[in-house]
Chains A and B, each alone.
Chain A
């Protein structure tokens, strides 16, 4: 058991010290690093360029430097990223991929080009109609453009072979993660909500080969011990992300176990397996086309609710927690629809508004405790 605890502690430590972890990975591999805003950036292209993709998911300190560029009602992840960029924390990055899912991100692309030109901002624009052939073609061309911009920023050439190899590695990573989230919920004593989150997040700050090896080793070690018998209530988290730790700790405190998630920072990153046919770029575009139930991608079927119900049934969960990052409008617009669908089938749903920078979790404690009392 000590062995498993050490493996967990190592990954939790990586997640808790992002800058140190990335710098360590850079030194060990001799690779450059490229920042990746949330979510679905084509990390495979960065890897194929011989660099480390680094997840940029805000942080516990929002500061005030970003106030030069943003209003108070912008999301805290983007504001924290901007504060850190203006402070020079990201100066070790060779480029930053910024997505354009919401108004805040769109304007971030523009503002960062002015505010931090040395960070080589590369926009990533996904097609609205991603399932149509034209949408897929648009996305493949977008990947080709990003490939060229990465080549320029990293002063290298990205070969087709390298992209194929990187894509295969990422598919292996995603497969390992699907197994991990399936297994982790059976061991709440070893992996509580906070550790589960940190283990998954550690992937943002490590070289992917090393991380995948560690996750596979952890899964193997976990499966060698019998699953824990626990009488705790099972919950599923949905939203952009579930942070900070003080918030996640409240689940364990109230006897709630996270058995699955539909978080953009976690399972939405890896739950879709690519179709077998085609070259890597076609398969990458196909993965985005097949990604459903995500508030950041246009979904004319609005399948999030149905997917949550399936997830609830699969894991025999007792309830769902809607983790609403304050001022994240794509997620806010989804909530009324999800709420109605959960009410129709009688699944308890808790709506929680969070920020990464929360000093006091007293109100959240009351909400989560009440939810546990309802369950």
Chain B
């Protein structure tokens, strides 16, 4: 059995593959690096697979917390792992947009799931999951709640600021000006889509386009992005675990010394 662990800034993910490369267990815990999240997510994935830790032949760790995780045979960046994981479930994917808790990445991949090029957001929360969290808080709801609200929005308000803090005060101003809460929520999604589209333009886009990471569970973001980019986006069943899946696939390719077989 092979274990892939993806320790992000706000969540931990684990995928276990059997000898045939089939998913035997997978789990997501919404706490990330620096917490007990990684340990708990591994326990959950092991229990789902019905195996003990000792039955894991190789482990690859990825994500923001990869440098401090002990007990892996190798650490590989989340960019390479997302590419590998997405390519396994969506072989036609050539552009991956990965929106995580604190960063956003656009990855251009080849037909084998190898990274051709990539770009990441800079030191700014605009265009990330954190942005939606902050906006949700202004409207007294969760990210999912924000998405539901946006579904009911008709005309999204314009939120022009690239800075999350200023965008937050813009939203408050829009509410104070009497704009409907649903339209403000839709505006927040449009805003994140515009930031991410800017990143996509830095690298160039080629179909198929896939959205991975926790934010990909949010249908309103996907729709806003499709509109902004002018491309359909493939919906994944489990967008959060693509990094961990990629890590597990890499683990399958390692020999007992932790080097590529």
Interface residues of A (CB under 8 A from B): 326, 348-349, 351, 353, 362-363, 365-367, 369-370, 373-374
| Given A373-B115, A374-B114, A374-B115, CB of A367 within 8 Å of CB of B76 | no
Chain A interface mostly helix, strand, loop or mixed? Answer: helix
Write out the residue numbers on chain B whose beta carbons fall within 8 Å of the beta carbon of A373: 76-77, 79-80, 115
Interface pair B115/A362, CB less than 8 Å apart = no
Contact partner of B64 among A362, A369, A374, CB < 8 A?
A362
Q: Indicate if B168 sits at the interface (CB-CB under 8 A).
A: no
Distance between Cα atoms of A348 and B79 in the complex (Å): 16
Chain B min CB distance to A171 (Å)? 40
Q: Indicate if B122 sits at the interface (CB-CB under 8 A).
A: yes
Write out the residue numbers on chain B whose beta carbons fall within 8 Å of the beta carbon of A370: 77, 79-80, 115, 118
Interface pair A366/B120, CB less than 8 Å apart = yes
Chain A min CB distance to B101 (Å)? 13
Interface pair B120/A367, CB less than 8 Å apart = yes
Distance between Cα atoms of A363 and B104 in the complex (Å): 11
- Top 8 nearest A-B pairs (CB, nearest first) are A370-B79, A370-B77, A373-B80, A369-B77, A366-B77, A374-B115, A353-B122, A370-B80
Chain B interfacial residues counted at CB < 8 A? 18
Contact partner of B79 among A349, A351, A353, A366, CB < 8 A?
A366
| Given A351-B119, A353-B122, CB of A363 within 8 Å of CB of B103 | yes
Interface residues of B (CB under 8 A from A): 64, 67, 76-80, 103, 114-120, 122-123, 202
Write out the residue numbers on chain A whose beta carbons fall within 8 Å of the beta carbon of B67: 365
Counting chain B CB atoms within 10 Å of each CB, which of A349, A353, A365, A374 scores highest? Answer: A374
Chain B min CB distance to A315 (Å)? 22
Write out the residue numbers on chain A whose beta carbons fall within 8 Å of the beta carbon of B202: 351
Chain B min CB distance to A15 (Å)? 27
Interface pair B76/A366, CB less than 8 Å apart = no
Distance between Cα atoms of A369 and B120 in the complex (Å): 13
Write out the residue numbers on chain A whose beta carbons fall within 8 Å of the beta carbon of B80: 370, 373-374
Distance between Cα atoms of A41 and B117 in the complex (Å): 37
Listed A/B pairs (10) with beta-carbon separation below 8 Å: A349-B117, A351-B202, A353-B122, A362-B64, A363-B103, A366-B77, A370-B79, A370-B118, A373-B77, A373-B79
Write out the residue numbers on chain B whose beta carbons fall within 8 Å of the beta carbon of A353: 122
Chain B min CB distance to A222 (Å)? 32
Distance between Cα atoms of A101 and B122 in the complex (Å): 26
Distance between Cα atoms of A122 and B1 in the complex (Å): 69
Write out the residue numbers on chain B whose beta carbons fall within 8 Å of the beta carbon of A374: 80, 114-116
Chain B min CB distance to A23 (Å)? 35
Interface pair A366/B115, CB less than 8 Å apart = no
> Which residue on chain B has the smallest CB distance to residue A360?
B123
> Which residue on chain B has the smallest CB distance to residue A340?
B204
Chain A min CB distance to B79 (Å)? 4
> Which residue on chain B has the smallest CB distance to residue A358?
B123
Write out the residue numbers on chain B whose beta carbons fall within 8 Å of the beta carbon of A348: 117
Distance between Cα atoms of A363 and B64 in the complex (Å): 8
Chain B min CB distance to A352 (Å)? 10
Counting chain B CB atoms within 10 Å of each CB, which of A348, A353, A362, A373 scores highest? Answer: A373
> Which residue on chain B has the smallest CB distance to residue A351?
B119
Chain A min CB distance to B224 (Å)? 25
Chain B min CB distance to A295 (Å)? 18
> Which residue on chain A has the smallest CB distance to residue B75?
A369
Given contacts A351-B202, A373-B80, 12 further A-B contacts (CB under 8 A): A348-B117, A351-B119, A363-B120, A363-B123, A365-B67, A366-B64, A366-B78, A367-B118, A370-B115, A373-B76, A374-B80, A374-B114
Distance between Cα atoms of A367 and B116 in the complex (Å): 13
Distance between Cα atoms of A346 and B41 in the complex (Å): 40
Chain A min CB distance to B76 (Å)? 7
Write out the residue numbers on chain A whose beta carbons fall within 8 Å of the beta carbon of B79: 366, 370, 373
Counting chain A CB atoms within 10 Å of each CB, which of B64, B118, B119, B202 scores highest? Answer: B118
Counting chain B CB atoms within 10 Å of each CB, which of A351, A363, A370 scores highest? Answer: A370
Chain B min CB distance to A318 (Å)? 14
Distance between Cα atoms of A276 and B51 in the complex (Å): 77
Chain A min CB distance to B109 (Å)? 11
Write out the residue numbers on chain A whose beta carbons fall within 8 Å of the beta carbon of B77: 366, 369-370, 373
Distance between Cα atoms of A369 and B64 in the complex (Å): 12
Chain A min CB distance to B82 (Å)? 10
Write out the residue numbers on chain A whose beta carbons fall within 8 Å of the beta carbon of B116: 374
> Which residue on chain B has the smallest CB distance to residue A353?
B122
Write out the residue numbers on chain A whose beta carbons fall within 8 Å of the beta carbon of B103: 363
Distance between Cα atoms of A237 and B105 in the complex (Å): 23
Distance between Cα atoms of A365 and B75 in the complex (Å): 12
> Which residue on chain B has the smallest CB distance to residue A355?
B123
Distance between Cα atoms of A154 and B132 in the complex (Å): 59
